[in-house]
Amino acid sequence: MGEVATITIDGQSYEFPVLVGSENERGIDIRSLRKETGYITLDSGYMNTGACISNITFIDGEQGILRYHGIPIEQMAEHSSFVETCYLLQHGRLPTADQLKRFSSLLNEFSLVHEGMRQLLNFFPLHAHPMNILGSLVNALSSFYPHVDANSLTEAIDICAARLISKVRTLAAYSYRKANGLPVVYPRQDLSYSANFLNMMFSSPVNDYVADEESVRLMDMLLLMHADHEQNCSTSAVRLVGSSQANLYASISSGISALWGPLHGGANQAVMNMLSQIHEDGGDTQKYIDMAKDKSNKFRLSGFGHRVYKNYDPRARVIKKYCTNTLEKGAAKDPLLGIALKLEEQVLQDDYFIERKLFPNVDFYSGIIYKALGFPTNMFTVLFAIGRMPGWIAQWKEMTNASDAKIGRPRQIYTGAQTRDYVPIDQRL
């Protein structure tokens, strides 16, 4: 018998198996706890709860390690592409040249969206937040394209996955064009995934636009860097909604909503706003550090801290390198980079942040590159969503196919009133 954990309640002992992951992480399997003991566990924020067994992404937060199906994020950033990463996350292995070609042409094939969806865009008020538009349009996909439920064939789900990965980029560009009163630009079959996206964003009927190679590479690297991050808030939302056998599009739409919050993906927009504010305020980074440390003030330094990483976020390390390389070339000098570097340096020497193990996270430097590529701040979280799409889909598929798949339904400790009688309205005090 393997390792067990013993829990003693009221003098009676119960044994529960210890599960060991492939990287030696250990968890107590309490799936039979309530049945055996009548007790539940309480874990607000799921700080200690493993919600599933997964073989997609590995994170070691103590050491600052992130791997997609075993491959370190640093190697993916250097050698891979976003489309290849999508394949890896869907299939668990890197594609052969033929497989990559087939997958890329599938993405091309699906890049157009139903004209009815373009009409839908017209009903959003001008300046609606693009995350709002994106979440609504992704949800609407289930009305425009064949419904896929949890029992659909794997093949149908794969088609849906390719459709989503492809169309989300078209929809994201549409939402930007709409918000800016610009004509929609259709996708092109001759461009790569990221070049196509940049073209739909920035080309104009009156001005030829050709994305330069470096911008395409940067875009691709940033999407890849966000592709999956195991059981974070939005992925857990996708899994929870999907566990009710809601269709893939509806489940992903809930992930987009979860991602929007400033504690999660919305932090990239919040970082840019914060850096701009510090800049306009004279560049006094220490003032903002002091504000973040002041417990009577709700202000936090956006882009610092992480539930899992108690070390430098490996994604932030890679993005910072690209960020400084790009901006130091001079084409797009940005004073906000100087402020970010100074802020980071001070934070990493400050006892408050050292004691709490707060380091820059993925959102700290990404916005500076997005800005250099020409994206407005309110598109930053949309870019995160495009990047996270393959991860959400892979996690949804894994959840749907799991042998222990169950509807997600936590319990609670009730502390409200005990039974009391209904009082007719004329007798209430």
What whole-number distance in Å separates Cα of residue 383 and Cα of residue 222? 9
426 annotated active-site: no
Stretch that binds ligand CMC, among 157-165, 202-210, 274-282, 353-361 (CB under 6 A): 353-361
Told to check if 264 binds ligand CMC by CB under 6 A, we report yes
- Burial 147-172, CB ≥16 within 10 A → b, else e: ebebebeeeebbbbbbbbbbbbbbbb
212 annotated active-site: no
Which DSSP string corresponds to 222-276? Answer: HHHHTS--SS-HHHHHHHHHHTTT--HHHHHHHHHHHHHSTTTTTHHHHHHHHHH
Which DSSP string corresponds to 123-168? Answer: TSPTT--HHHHHHHHHHHHHHHS----TTS-HHHHHHHHHHHHHHH
For CA atoms 257, 269, 87, 166, the dihedral sign is positive
Told to check if 279 binds ligand CMC by CB under 6 A, we report no
Give me the catalytic one of 228, 229, 306, 313: 306
Residue choice 64, 242, 303, 367 for contact with ligand CMC (CB under 6 A):
303
Phi, psi of 58 (to 5 degrees): -115, 130
* Residue 242 vs 265, nearer CB to ligand CMC: 265
Residue choice 16, 87, 288, 304 for contact with ligand CMC (CB under 6 A):
304
Residue choice 91, 307, 310, 342 for contact with ligand CMC (CB under 6 A):
307
Told to check if 310 binds ligand CMC by CB under 6 A, we report no
Told to check if 305 binds ligand CMC by CB under 6 A, we report yes
Packing angle between helix 267-280 and helix 362-373, nearest 10 degrees?
Answer: 70
Stretch that binds ligand CMC, among 7-15, 84-92, 175-183, 359-367 (CB under 6 A): 359-367
Q: How far is the CB of 412 from ligand CMC (least distance, A)?
A: 20
Told to check if 228 binds ligand CMC by CB under 6 A, we report no
* Residue 301 vs 327, nearer CB to ligand CMC: 301
What whole-number distance in Å separates Cα of residue 387 and Cα of residue 389? 6
Told to check if 361 binds ligand CMC by CB under 6 A, we report yes
Say which residue the tokens 């990404």 belong to.
Answer: 366
Told to check if 265 binds ligand CMC by CB under 6 A, we report yes
Which residues have a catalytic role annotated? 306, 363
Residues that bind ligand CMC (CB under 6 A): 45, 232, 263-265, 267, 292, 300-307, 356, 358, 361-363
